[in-house]
Amino acid sequence: MSATPAGRTGPGSLLRRRLGGVVAVVAVLAACAAPAPPVASGSEAVGYRNPVFEPILADPSVVRADDGTFYAYGTEDDWGDGEGSRVVPVVRSTDLVTWEYVGEAFADQPRWHNGFVWAPDVVRVGGAYHLYYSLSVWGDANPGIGVATSPDPAGPFTDHGALLTSREVGVENSIDPQVVVDDGARYLLWGSFHGIYGVRLSADGLSLAGNKFQIAGDGFEAPYVVVRDGVYWFFGSLGSCCEGALSTYRVAVGRAERLQGPYLGRDGTDLREGLGTPLLRSGAGFVGPGHPAVVRDDHGGDWLLYHAIEPRQPYVDSGANRRVLMLDPLVWTDGWPSVAGGQPGDGRQPPPRLDPRPLSRPAFEVHE
C-alpha cells in the first residue's frame, strides 16, 4: 500500500475531489453564475476559442469511428440543468472543435458496486467499442474498474461488470483506467495518488491476464500513454482537480523506451520517484487543467483534449465543478511535447486539420 501524499487524507477525500461535487456544495452556490446550456461552442472560419464544449465534460476520453467522427466521453455529473446526473455523457464532433451532445453511454447504472461512474476510457476492439470506467461511492475503501461493450460508439453500452477492485489487485484507490495496445497485446493502465500501474488484459479485453507493474509514483493520477516514433509518452495529472477556482490540477510528462518503463522526466528522474516534466498548468482564463487525452488530426498535428475550470464560473447549480472541455495543439520541441505558454489556450487559434472523410485512419492512433 502506498503512503498518502502530503496534503492528502486518503482515498475517501480523493474520491470526493474526483467526483467534483456531484452533491451540491451549498455554501458556494450563491457566488456561482447561472449554468450555461449543454451546447457546443467553437469553430469559426478564423479559428476557435476554448472551451469547445460546456458546461461539463470532465476526465475526457476520445475515440474515432470509421466515418471519421470523434466521440468523447466524460465523468458522471449533474450539469445543473434539471436533468439529473448523466451516466457517462457522450458528445461527438467531426472537427474536434464543435461538439454535439449525444446522450448517455449507459441506459442503466452499472450495479456490481454502488457508486458513481467516472473517468471512462473507450477503445475500439475489432468492430466493437470497449468502455472502461471507474465505479465508487464517496469514502469508498474499495473502488474498482469495470468494462462495458457496444457495437456503436454512441452506445448504449452493455456492462460486463468488474474488471478489478482495489482490494483484489492490491492498489488503493484503483480508478482512472486507460487501455493501450503494445505489440499486439492490450494493457490496462490505472491509478490515483497511490501509484500508477499496468497489467496485461486477455485477448477479448474483459479480464486480467498478467501481473501488475508500476510505472509512476504517488504524485500522479489519470495515466495516459501514447507511442510516438517508438517512444512511450506518459501524461499524468497532479494536484487537486475539483476545488473550483482554487483547483491545482496540472499535467506532467515522462518518456520510456518500453510500455513497462522506466518513465523518466527531462531531468532523468524516474516518475516512480519524481513528478515528471511540467506540460500544462493553470492560467489567467482557466485553472485546474488535467486528465488529458491525445489525438492526431489528418495532417499529422497532435492535440490535447482535457478539462479545466473558468474561475469566473467555477460551479453549476448542482454544486458540481464546471469542468469544461478544452482543446489545445500539442507541439513537439526538441523531442518533447509542449503547449503554448504551458497554459490553457485563452485566445483564438487555428483548428485541427481534418478531412471530411479520411481515406485511411490517421497515422497516429492513441489506442490501436
Chain-centroid distance of CA 270 in Å reads 23
Q: Is the pLDDT of residue 4 over 70?
A: no
Asked if pLDDT for residue 62 goes beyond 90, the answer is yes
- Residue 288's region, left for phi above 0, alpha for psi from -120 to 50, else beta, is left
User: Band of the pLDDT at 40, cuts 50, 70, 90?
Assistant: low
pLDDT, position 168: 96
Q: What is the mean pLDDT of the chain?
A: 87
For residue 300, the SS3 value is coil
Q: Which three cell numbers stand for residue 259?
A: 510500455
Per-residue pLDDT of 302-341, as tens digits, reads 999 999 999 999 999 999 999 999 999 999 988 999 999 9
pLDDT at 103: 97
Q: What is the dihedral of CA 22, 28, 33, 35, to 10 degrees?
A: 10
> What mean pLDDT do residues 107-120 have?
93
Burial tier of 224 (Cβ tally within 10 Å: 0-12, 13-18, 19+): buried
b/e map 84-105, b = 16+ CB within 10 Å: ebbbbbbbbbbbbbbbebbebb
pLDDT tier, 11 (very low <50, low <70, confident <90, very high otherwise): very low
**pLDDT tens, position by position, 214-258:** 999 999 999 999 999 999 999 999 999 999 999 999 999 999 999
Residue 24 confidence (pLDDT) above 80: no
Helix then strand then coil, in percent of the chain rounded to 5, is 5, 40, 55
pLDDT in the model for residue 127: 86
Q: What is the pLDDT of residue 8?
A: 32
pLDDT of residue 64: 95
Buried-state track 183-196, b at ≥16 Cβ within 10 A, e below 16? eeebbbbbbbbbbb
**Which residues on neighbouring strands pair with residue 86, listed in sequence order?**
77
Q: What are the angstrom distances between the C-alpha of 192 and each of 188, 240, 280, 289?
A: 14, 11, 18, 16
Is the pLDDT confidence value at 366 over 80? no
- Span 4-24, average pLDDT: 37
* Non-local CB neighbours of 60 within 8 Å, separated by 6+ positions: 72, 73, 74, 291, 292, 293, 305, 306, 307, 325
- How many angstroms separate the CA atoms of 29 and 315, rounded? 8
Structural domains in the chain plus CATH codes: 11-342 (2.115.10.20)
> How many angstroms separate the CA atoms of 352 and 293, rounded?
15
Task: Give me the DSSP letters along 194-226.
Answer: S-EEEEEBPTTSSSB-S--EEEE-TT-EEEEEE
Rounded to the nearest 5 degrees, what angle is found at the Cα of 353, between the Cα atoms of 349 and 355? Answer: 150
- H-run or E-run covering 333: strand 323-333
Q: What was the pLDDT predicted at 356?
A: 76
The pLDDT of residue 121 = 98
**Helices and strands counted in the chain (H then E):** 3, 24
pLDDT-wise least confident of 32-36, 106-110, 192-196, 244-248: 32-36
The pTM (predicted TM-score) of the whole model is 0.88
- What are the tens digits of pLDDT across the range 288-304? 999 999 999 999 999 99
| Higher per-residue pLDDT: 257 or 362 | 257
Peptide bond into 51 cis (omega under 30): yes
Overall average pLDDT of the 98-108 stretch: 96
For residue 199, what is its C-alpha cell? 497489467
